[in-house]
C-alpha cells in the first residue's frame, strides 16, 4: 500500500466515491441477456452484426463462447443464426439478411428503435432531417439508412451554424441516444435559432441512462480530486462521461479495466470518483474497487444519485 495521500498523513484513509447509477443500462442488459440465452439454447456458432455492445470485455467473453462478430452480412453463411447489436441497423441490412434466409434475433435497444421510427415519420412528411451525432457510429449509420437522401449529419455547433437547407424545405432534428446533454443542447439551440420552424421529437432522444450517468459523475466529480471513467475506447456514452467530468476541472482518467490503473495518478489524492459507461459489466467495476481497497486501503462510498428501475423484455422467442 502507498502512504502518500494527504488524508492518510492525517490518519484518514483515501475515499472512493462510486457513482450509482453506473454500468449496464436496460438496453445493454437486454442485449447481453438475450445473447446469453441464445448461446444456452442453440450453442455456437451465433453471428452478431457489429459488437453486441461497445465493450471489449463483453465482446471477448462472447467470442470465447463461439459468437462470431461480423461487419458485413456477406460474412454470415446462408441459413445461419444472426443477431443485430443493441445499436440497430439500416433497412438495407435487413434486406440483405432477408436475401440470405438468416434466422435473426433483433437486440436493438428500444430507445434506439424510437429514433428510427422518428426518422421514418419525418422522412414520410417530406422533411429534411438534421441528425445530431457522431459520424460512423453504428447507431448513427443505422438511422441515416432510414432516409439517406433526407438526413444530414450534424456533429457540432459549428456544423449547425453552416448547415445548408433549401429555403422551401421543412426541417426536423433527431439526436443519437448517447450524447453529452450540454453539447447536444447547444447544437439543437443553434438549429432552432437558424430554423425557428424546425420540428423535433416529442420526447428527447438522449436516453435516460446517458443522462443519469452524466448527472451522477458531475455531482461526484465536484467532491473529488480525481475522476476515473471505465469503458472501452469505442464507447460513445463513455466518451461523453469523460467529457462531462472534465468540465468540472478535475483530472480525468479513462480506463478499460483495472489493469490500466497507474499508482502515480493517486499520489497526494484524498478522494477519487468512479463511474462506468453503460456497456461496462459490474464485475469490471468491482475489480477497480478492489484495487483501491487493496492498494490504497480506500474507504468505498457508493453514492446513489438517481434510482433506475427501467427494464426491457427479451425479444420474442427468447
Cell of 174: 433527431
Mean pLDDT rounded to a whole number for the chain: 94
- The pLDDT score that the predictor gives to residue 2 is 45
Residues 6 or more apart in contact with residue 232 via CB below 8 angstroms: 54, 55, 56, 57, 238, 256, 277, 279, 280
Instruction: Look at residue 167 and tell me whether its pLDDT is greater than 80.
Output: no
Please compute the mean of the pLDDT values over residues 247-276 and round it to a whole number: 97
Cell of 252: 480525468
Instruction: Determine the Cα–Cα distance for residues 160 and 130; give it in Å rounded to an integer.
Output: 9
Cell of 52: 453486441
Instruction: Look at residue 307 and tell me whether its pLDDT is greater than 70.
Output: yes
Lowest mean pLDDT among 119-133, 156-170, 296-310: 156-170
Please compute the mean of the pLDDT values over residues 132-155 and round it to a whole number: 97
Do residues 27 and 112 touch, judged by C-beta distance below 8 A?
Answer: yes
Residues 6 or more apart in contact with residue 7 via CB below 8 angstroms: 13, 14, 15, 270, 271
Active-site choice (29, 51, 118, 139) = 139
Report residue 282's pLDDT band, with 50, 70 and 90 as the boundaries. Answer: very high
Known catalytic residue: 51?
no
Write out the E strands in 73-126. 81-84, 103-106
The whole-model pTM stands at: 0.91
Summarised one tens digit per residue, pLDDT across range 196-217 is 999 999 988 999 999 999 999 9
Report residue 296's pLDDT band, with 50, 70 and 90 as the boundaries. Answer: very high
- For residues 318 and 87, the model is more confident at 87
Amino acid at each position: 500500500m502507498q502512504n502518500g495521500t494527504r488524508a492518510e498523513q492525517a490518519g484518514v484513509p483515501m475515499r472512493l466515491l462510486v457513482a450509482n447509477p453506473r454500468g449496464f443500462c436496460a438496453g445493454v442488459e437486454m442485449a447481453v441477456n438475450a445473447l446469453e440465452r441464445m448461446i444456452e439454447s442453440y450453442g455456437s456458432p451465433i453471428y452478431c452484426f457489429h459488437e453486441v455492445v461497445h465493450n471489449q470485455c463483453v465482446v471477448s467473453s462472447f467470442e470465447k463462447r463461439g459468437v462470431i462478430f461480423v461487419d458485413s452480412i456477406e460474412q454470415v453463411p446462408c441459413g445461419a443464426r444472426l443477431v443485430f447489436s443493441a445499436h440497430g441497423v439500416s433497412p438495407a441490412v435487413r434486406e440483405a439478411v432477408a436475401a440470405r434466409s438468416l434466422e435473426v434475433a433483433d437486440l436493438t435497444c428500444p430507445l434506439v428503435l424510437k429514433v428510427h421510427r422518428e426518422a421514418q415519420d419525418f422522412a414520410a412528411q417530406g422533411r429534411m432531417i438534421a441528425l445530431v451525432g457522431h459520424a460512423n457510429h453504428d447507431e448513427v449509420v443505422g438511422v441515416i439508412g432510414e432516409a439517406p437522401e433526407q438526413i444530414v449529419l450534424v456533429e457540432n455547433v459549428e456544423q449547425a451554424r453552416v448547415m445548408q437547407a433549401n429555403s422551401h424545405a421543412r426541417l426536423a432534428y433527431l439526436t443519437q441516444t448517447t450524447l453529452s446533454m450540454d453539447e447536444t443542447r447547444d447544437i439543437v439551440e443553434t438549429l432552432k435559432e437558424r430554423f425557428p420552424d424546425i420540428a423535433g421529437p416529442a420526447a428527447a432522444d438522449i436516453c435516460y441512462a446517458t443522462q443519469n450517468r452524466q448527472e451522477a459523475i458531475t455531482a461526484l466529480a465536484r467532491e473529488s480530486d480525481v475522476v476515473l471513467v471505465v469503458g472501452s475506447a469505442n464507447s460513445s456514452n463513455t466518451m461523453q462521461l469523460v467529457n462531462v467530468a472534465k468540465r468540472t476541472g478535475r483530472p480525468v482518467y479513462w480506463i478499460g479495466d483495472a489493469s490500466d490503473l497507474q499508482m502515480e495518478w493517486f499520489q497526494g489524492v484524498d478522494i477519487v470518483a468512479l463511474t462506468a459507461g453503460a456497456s461496462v459489466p459490474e464485475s469490471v467495476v468491482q475489480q477497480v474497487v478492489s484495487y483501491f481497497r487493496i492498494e490504497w486501503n480506500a474507504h468505498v462510498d457508493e453514492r446513489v444519485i438517481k434510482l433506475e428501475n427501467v427494464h426491457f423484455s427479451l425479444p420474442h422467442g427468447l
